[in-house]
């Protein structure tokens, strides 16, 4: 953590580097604002995250059916785990995650507050597009197993290190080596974007002072971009890239139909029937296994078994949606389930809450169906 001063077109920018779960960060922000009395205050937030900080997330408003139908179950679970993990770190340090940003907004006084960060949804979409399958699996592993190990208290020494700028930079360097595409989007692009927003806020001004509250790990990157004009427009764009997954998904029904036709003309109706049985049993069974792993209701498992062979032939549908909607209907989450979403601290807690267990049913049923497709096709080919 620390303060760095930079001149931008005759204006002074005071960059306050913070750790988002640090009590000392709040004090540093307050002290800097009182000392500088800036003309403009900038915070590393977008509109959505500002609203979330000001107004606590209303889990009671969570619409489980909408999450399932929109295919956002895995993203919702990952976001929930990471949010609660950061909250738990803040509790260990006696502060609220993002409190230093709220402090900046509160102590801005009459100075206008500029939101400097890129929309989080844009950042996630750009990161997801650039990640390889290996990197996506690595992220999933980190979220589910590395960050939230059951029964272990958060190490106080590790928390203290998270508040030091050098430790943050070291973590970013490690991230760059392990998952370079994620580091590029989450760190490098946002450094440039924040610099562009600072330049925009100071455009046409001379002799103004701006205090910008940002994560300590962004300081060096922002400073490197400030001397030259930065165009933020390309960094806000989400390109529509060709998805090989969709191409493969639509190729599955074509391939299956071709195999059935070949089987019928080369080996007769008996082999075709065997092929169809293999497709239904393998696909349905593995999707059912997914529901069982999620500790889903028996009726949800039955629905997954019946739906998977058909949804695997239509990329616009998913077995997990049907199984999840069935689970939500049967389990009927209570108010206490919504209220306890904010207290989920570990992976096993996901199975204890009816809402998150329902979303696990969605995710695991889909995974089982996907594996079922990958197993069934070679099996059917072997019958020719």
Angle between helices 269-293 and 319-331 (to 10 degrees): 40
For the segment 117-124, the average pLDDT, to the nearest whole number, is 86
Give the separation between CA 302 and CA 317, rounded to whole angstroms: 17
| pLDDT confidence band for 213 (50 / 70 / 90) | very high
Give the separation between CA 175 and CA 178, rounded to whole angstroms: 5
For the segment 310-336, the average pLDDT, to the nearest whole number, is 86
Mean pLDDT of the chain: 81
Strand partners, 43: 115, 213
Higher pLDDT, 97 or 26: 26
Higher pLDDT, 17 or 25: 17
| pLDDT confidence band for 148 (50 / 70 / 90) | very low
- Give backbone dihedrals phi and psi of 242, rounded to 5 degrees, phi first: -70, 125
Higher pLDDT, 216 or 134: 216
pLDDT at 286: 96
H/E stretch holding 51 reads helix 47-54
pLDDT at 166: 42
pLDDT at 163: 47
Give the separation between CA 211 and CA 38, rounded to whole angstroms: 6
- Give backbone dihedrals phi and psi of 31, rounded to 5 degrees, phi first: -65, -40
Region at 94 (left for phi over 0; alpha for psi -120 to 50; beta for the rest): left
pLDDT at 346: 63
pLDDT at 125: 80
> For the ranges 77-86, 216-225, 311-320, which has the lowest average pLDDT?
77-86
Query: If you average pLDDT over each of 73-82, 145-154, 291-300, which comes out highest?
Result: 291-300
Residue 306 has pLDDT above 70, yes or no: yes
pLDDT at 378: 94
Higher pLDDT, 248 or 139: 248
Residue 147 has pLDDT above 60, yes or no: no
H/E stretch holding 192 reads helix 189-202
Tokens matching residue 61: 């408003």
pTM of the model: 0.66
Half-sphere exposure (CA, 13 Å, Cβ side) for 150? 7
- Tell me the pLDDT tens digit for each residue of 267-284: 889 999 999 999 999 999
**Extents of the domains making up the chain:** 2-236, 244-382
Residue 175 has pLDDT above 70, yes or no: no
């Amino acid at each position: 953590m620390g303060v760095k001063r930079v001149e931008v077109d005759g204006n002074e920018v005071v960059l306050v580097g913070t750790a988002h779960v640090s009590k000392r960060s709040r004090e540093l922000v307050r002290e800097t604002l009182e000392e500088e009395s800036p003309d403009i205050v900038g915070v590393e937030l977008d509109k959505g995250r500002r609203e979330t900080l000001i107004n606590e997330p209303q889990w009671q408003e969570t619409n489980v059916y909408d999450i399932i139908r929109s295919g956002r179950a895995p993203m919702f679970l990952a976001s929930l785990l990471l949010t609660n993990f950061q909250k738990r770190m803040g509790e260990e340090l006696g502060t609220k995650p993002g409190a230093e940003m709220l402090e900046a907004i509160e102590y801005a006084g009459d100075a206008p507050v500029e939101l400097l960060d890129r929309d989080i949804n844009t950042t996630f979409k750009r990161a997801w597009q650039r990640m390889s399958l290996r990197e996506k699996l690595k992220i999933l592993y980190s979220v589910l197993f590395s960050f939230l190990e059951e029964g272990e208290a958060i190490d106080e020494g590790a928390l203290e290190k998270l508040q030091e700028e050098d430790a943050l930079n070291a973590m970013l360097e490690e991230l760059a080596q392990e998952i370079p595409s994620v580091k590029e989007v989450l760190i490098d692009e946002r450094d440039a974007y924040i610099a562009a927003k600072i330049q925009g806020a100071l455009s046409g001004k001379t002799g103004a002072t701006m205090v910008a509250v940002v994560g300590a790990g962004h300081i060096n990157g922002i400073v490197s971009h400030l001397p030259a004009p930065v165009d933020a427009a390309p960094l806000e764009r989400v390109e529509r890239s060709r998805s090989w997954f969709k191409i493969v998904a639509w190729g599955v029904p074509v391939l299956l139909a071709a195999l059935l036709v070949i089987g019928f003309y080369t080996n007769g109706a008996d082999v075709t029937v065997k092929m169809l049985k293999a497709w239904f049993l393998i696909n349905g069974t593995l999707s059912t296994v997914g529901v069982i792993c999620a500790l889903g209701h028996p009726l949800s498992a039955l629905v997954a078994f019946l739906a998977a062979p058909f949804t695997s032939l239509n990329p616009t549908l998913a077995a997990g949606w049907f199984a999840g909607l069935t689970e939500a209907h049967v389990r009927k989450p209570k108010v206490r389930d919504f209220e306890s979403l904010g207290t989920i601290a570990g992976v096993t807690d996901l199975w204890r809450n009816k809402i998150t267990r329902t979303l696990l049913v969605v995710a695991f049923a889909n995974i089982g169906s996907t594996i079922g497709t990958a197993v069934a096709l070679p099996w059917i080919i072997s019958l020719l």
